[in-house]
Amino acid sequence: MSLELTINEAIKTAMRAKDKVALDSLRAVKSQIQLLKTESLGAEVSPEQEIAILQRMVKQRKDSYDQFAAQGRNDLAEVEEAQMKIIEQFLPKQLSAEELEAEMKQIIAETGAESMKDLGKVMGVASKNLAGKSDGKSISEMAKKLLS
């Protein structure tokens, strides 16, 4: 089932449960998918694009959460955190640190990277292979750690 259909079903469930936070979060995701469809002239949204949308939305919520928490606005921070958790449910299972390290070691071996000079080559392959399974920041940090 596509993400769009899954989101529509989740919206119906949230409406029945009168869960305002979930409803707001899911409607935001649906809006982003519709926007992408409109920009691509009605073409179907690929699974990779769906994952990218979800990752971007989670990152936005995380950044907002950090800002609100730093300013002492816990009421707003809690809303952002709740929305972030709801959106994360639709992302593929994230890799643990150990799993990420194992994947990165394999990618480094495949690309023949030996030093930080090869970081770009490793990041290109890693970003493509690990899309949706880990965020770019974690991938970058692990690549730098293993190459240095």
Mean pLDDT in residue range 64-77: 95
* Residues of the chain by 3-state class (helix, strand, coil), percent to 5: 80, 0, 20
Domain count, the chain: 2
Higher-confidence residue: 125 or 40? 125
pLDDT value at residue 18 = 94
* 56 shares a domain with 30: yes
125 lies in which domain range? 97-147
What CATH number should be reported for the domain holding residue 122? 1.10.10.410
For the entire predicted model, the pTM comes to: 0.76
Q: How far apart are CA 79 and CA 11, in angstroms?
A: 18
pLDDT value at residue 137 = 84
Mean pLDDT in residue range 103-111: 88
What CATH number should be reported for the domain holding residue 82? 1.10.1510.10
* 70 shares a domain with 39: yes
* 22 shares a domain with 77: yes
pLDDT value at residue 49 = 86
Helical spans, DSSP H, in 71-112:
74-88, 97-111
Q: How far apart are CA 81 and CA 76, in angstroms?
A: 9
Q: How far apart are CA 108 and CA 49, in angstroms?
A: 26
* 50 shares a domain with 7: yes
* 128 shares a domain with 81: no
In the predicted structure, residue 125 carries a pLDDT above the cut 80: yes
pLDDT value at residue 1 = 62
Encoded tokens for 15: 């409406």
Distance from chain centroid for Cα 66: 17
H or E element: which one contains 23? helix 20-39
* 77 shares a domain with 27: yes
Q: How far apart are CA 107 and CA 99, in angstroms?
A: 12
Mean residue pLDDT of the chain comes to: 89
* 74 shares a domain with 107: no
Mean pLDDT in residue range 38-44: 80
* 69 shares a domain with 134: no
